[in-house]
């Protein structure tokens, strides 16, 4: 059994801010968004959490090991250094999707994403230290088989990107619908999925699905841990073993 703690991060009233009093320069928005994400990667990551950029104005983090005080400090630190504020909602569940579902509901109950009066909400409950176990988090690190040889060194960069993107779109939808998992593109040809307690056959099935749907070949390393950092590093090592041994799925 996994026990994933998921945090939904939402920039408060961001859409309206980007066009008030008139549209702000895209270069500044891109810089703001990617630096905020980088800062959150450090703030969560240095506490052994993982955060994914997803839509940038809404981000999703796996936060086993972070308590409410950690969340409050991260919220305050961003409020001190950015022209925007953010709301955070945290929840747990036996699957990542159910945890996120609760987290998002708590946030929606506090007001709309574009409610001008809803600022710096902090909701939800973290896992008490006594209930944490070494298998609370399962992360899977996918990559595309020989992406450099098949795509990057052969096609124009956008056509390569189409392959990666179509593979990701197929995977993220299937993993959510079939396996209650949250899958995120993290750059290059890499996808990290936050999963419940899936087994080798299920990962193999997901890879098969993507190959059949969009003709993209994946392999995947899987790690488990008390924290996302532990699970994620194990998944990376398992993926290296896939590469070395030519197998499709490997558990660390």
Residues 143-172 that bind a copy of itself (CB under 8 A): 148, 152-162, 164-166, 168-169, 172
Contacts with a copy of itself in 1-30 (CB under 8 A)? 8, 10, 14-15, 18-19, 22-30
Contacts of 144 (CB under 8 A, 6+ apart): 150, 151, 163, 164, 167, 189, 216, 217, 218
C-alpha distances in Å from residue 243, one per residue of 112, 216, 218, 221: 45, 16, 11, 10
- State the DSSP H helix or E strand holding residue 96, giving kind and residue range, or none if neither: helix 96-109
Which residue, 109 or 135, is less far from a copy of itself as judged by CB?
109
**Prior bond of 21 cis (ω within 30°):** yes
Contacts with a copy of itself in 107-126 (CB under 8 A)? 108, 112-114
Q: What does DSSP assign to residue 49?
A: -
Contacts with a copy of itself in 67-86 (CB under 8 A)? 73, 76-77, 79-83
C-alpha distances in Å from residue 51, one per residue of 40, 87, 182, 241: 7, 15, 12, 25
Contacts with a copy of itself in 32-61 (CB under 8 A)? 32-35, 37-39, 41-47, 50-51, 53-58, 60
Which residue, 101 or 133, is less far from a copy of itself as judged by CB?
101
Buried b (16+ CB within 10 A) or exposed e, 5-18: bbbbbbbbbbeebb
101 touches a copy of itself (CB under 8 A): yes
Supply the minimum distance, in Å, between the C-beta of residue 179 and a copy of itself.
12
Supply the minimum distance, in Å, between the C-beta of residue 76 and a copy of itself.
7
- First and final C-alpha spacing in the chain: 17
88 touches a copy of itself (CB under 8 A): no
Supply the minimum distance, in Å, between the C-beta of residue 113 and a copy of itself.
5
Which residue, 43 or 207, is less far from a copy of itself as judged by CB?
43
- By residue count, the chain amounts to 252
- The residue from 3, 119, 186, 247 that contacts a copy of itself (CB under 8 A) is 186
Choose one: 119-127, 129-137, 195-203, 233-241; the region binding a copy of itself (CB under 8 A).
Answer: 233-241
């Amino acid at each position: 059994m996994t026990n994933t703690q998921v945090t939904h991060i939402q920039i408060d009233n961001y859409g309206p801010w980007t066009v008030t009093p008139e549209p702000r320069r895209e270069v500044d928005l891109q810089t703001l968004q990617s630096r905020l994400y980088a800062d959150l990667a450090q703030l969560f990551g240095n506490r052994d959490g993982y955060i994914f950029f997803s839509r940038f104005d809404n981000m999703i983090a796996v936060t086993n090991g972070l308590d409410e005080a950690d969340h409050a400090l991260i919220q305050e630190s961003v409020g001190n250094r950015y022209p925007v504020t953010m709301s955070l909602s945290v929840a747990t569940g036996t699957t990542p999707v159910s945890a996120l579902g609760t987290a998002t509901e708590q946030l929606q109950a506090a007001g709309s994403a574009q409610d001008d009066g809803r600022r710096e909400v902090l909701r939800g409950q973290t896992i008490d230290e006594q209930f944490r176990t070494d298998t609370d988090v399962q992360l899977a690190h996918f990559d595309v088989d020989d992406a450099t040889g098949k795509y990057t060194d052969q096609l124009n960069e956008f056509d390569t990107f189409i392959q990666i993107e179509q593979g990701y779109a197929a995977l993220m939808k299937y993993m959510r619908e079939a396996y209650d998992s949250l899958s995120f593109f993290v750059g290059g040809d890499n996808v990290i999925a936050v999963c419940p307690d899936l087994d080798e056959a299920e990962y193999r099935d997901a890879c098969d699905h993507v190959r059949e749907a969009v003709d993209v070949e994946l392999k995947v390393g899987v790690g488990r841990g008390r924290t996302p950092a532990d699970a994620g590093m194990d998944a990376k090592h398992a993926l290296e073993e896939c590469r070395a041994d030519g197998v499709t799925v490997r558990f660390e």
